Amino acid sequence: MIRKASRVFLVSLMLGACHSIREANVTESAWNLVSPPGARTQSTILLVWDKPENYEAIEGYEVYCGGRLIGRTRFADFTAEGLEAGAKYSFTVRSYSRGGAFSGFSKPVTVSTRALGQTVDIRDHGAVGDGSTLNTKAIQDAIRACPRGGTVLVPAGVFRTGALFLKSEMTLHVSAGGILLGSADPADYPLIPSRWEGRQRESYSSLLNGGSMKEGISDVVISGAGTIDGSGSKLMKAEMANEEKTARGRVICFINSDAIYMEGVTVRQPPAWCVHFIYCQNVTANRITVNTTFDDYGNRYSIGNGDGFNPDSTRHVTVVDSTFLTGDDSIAIKSGRDEFGRRVGKPSEQIRISNCRFIAGLGVAIGSEMSGGVRDVRVEDCTFSRAAFLAQIKTPRGRGGVVENVLFRDISYGDGFFAENEWFRAPITLDAYYGTIDPDTQEVLEVSEGTPQVRNITFRNITISNPLGRAALLRGLPEAPYRNIRLENISAAADFGIEGENLEGVYLDRVSVKADPGPAFSWKNVNELLTTGEGGSSLPMPELEYGPAPDGRNILRDGDFSGKDDAWRRSGAEIVTNEAGKSFLRLAPGKSFVFQAVAEGFSPLQRYTFLVRARTGTAKQMGWDDITFGSISFKDSGGKGLGWNNLCVAGRKFREPRISGIIPPGTAVIEVEVSGGGTHVTDVERIMLVVEDR
Q: Where are the alpha helices (DSSP H) in 146-258?
A: 232-240
Q: Which long-range contacts (CB under 8 A, 24 or more apart) does 572-581 make?
A: 572/527, 576/619, 576/683, 578/617, 578/618, 578/619, 578/620, 578/621, 578/622, 579/619, 579/620, 579/622, 580/622
Sign of CA dihedral 143, 146, 148, 149: negative
Predicted confidence at residue 354, as pLDDT, reads 98
Predicted confidence at residue 543, as pLDDT, reads 28
Q: Rounded mean pLDDT of 603-617?
A: 52
Q: Tell me: pLDDT of 275 over 50.
A: yes
CA distance 102 to 26: 7
Q: Which of 247-256, 466-475, 612-621 has the highest mean pLDDT?
A: 247-256
Q: Rounded mean pLDDT of 113-138?
A: 98
CA distance 511 to 411: 15
Helix (H, G, I), strand (E, B) or coil at 27: coil
Average pLDDT across the chain, whole number: 81
Single-letter code of the amino acid located at 127: A
Predicted confidence at residue 529, as pLDDT, reads 82
**Of 273, 363, 290, residue with least CA distance to 325:** 290
Predicted confidence at residue 677, as pLDDT, reads 54
Q: Rounded mean pLDDT of 348-370?
A: 96
Cα distance between the two ends of the chain:
6
Single-letter code of the amino acid located at 271: P
Predicted confidence at residue 298, as pLDDT, reads 81
**Each residue of 142-182: pLDDT tens digit?**
999 999 999 999 999 999 999 999 999 999 999 999 999 99
Q: Rounded mean pLDDT of 612-616?
A: 51
**Each residue of 91-107: pLDDT tens digit?**
999 999 988 899 999 99
**Up-side HSE of residue 483: CA atoms within 13 Å toward CB?**
12
Q: Tell me: pLDDT of 460 over 60.
A: yes
**Each residue of 13-40: pLDDT tens digit?**
222 222 222 333 444 566 899 999 999 9
CA distance 174 to 181: 11
Predicted confidence at residue 539, as pLDDT, reads 34
Predicted confidence at residue 54, as pLDDT, reads 85
pTM score, two decimals?
A: 0.76
Predicted confidence at residue 579, as pLDDT, reads 60
73-88 burial, b if ≥16 CB within 10 A, otherwise e? Answer: bebbbbbbeebeeeee
Q: Rounded mean pLDDT of 664-690?
A: 56
Predicted confidence at residue 100, as pLDDT, reads 87
Q: Tell me: pLDDT of 203 over 70.
A: yes
CA distance 39 to 352: 14
Percent of the chain exceeding pLDDT 90 equals 64
- Reported residue count of the chain is 694
Q: Tell me: pLDDT of 337 over 70.
A: yes
> Do 163 and 207 form a contact (C-beta atoms < 8 A)?
yes
CA distance 515 to 346: 41
**Of 249, 381, 268, residue with least CA distance to 326:** 268
Question: Could you give all domains of the chain from N- to C-terminal order, each with its CATH number?
Answer: 3-19+541-693 (no CATH), 31-112 (2.60.40.10), 154-162+179-532 (2.160.20.10)
**Of 377, 362, 372, residue with least CA distance to 330:** 362
Q: Tell me: pLDDT of 462 over 60.
A: yes
Range with lowest mean pLDDT among 268-272, 387-391, 549-553: 549-553
Single-letter code of the amino acid located at 668: A
**Each residue of 431-440: pLDDT tens digit?**
999 999 999 9
Predicted confidence at residue 20, as pLDDT, reads 27
Q: Tell me: pLDDT of 207 over 80.
A: yes
Backbone angles phi, psi at 424, to 5 degrees: -150, 130
Predicted confidence at residue 294, as pLDDT, reads 86
**Each residue of 227-260: pLDDT tens digit?**
999 999 999 999 999 888 999 999 999 999 999 9
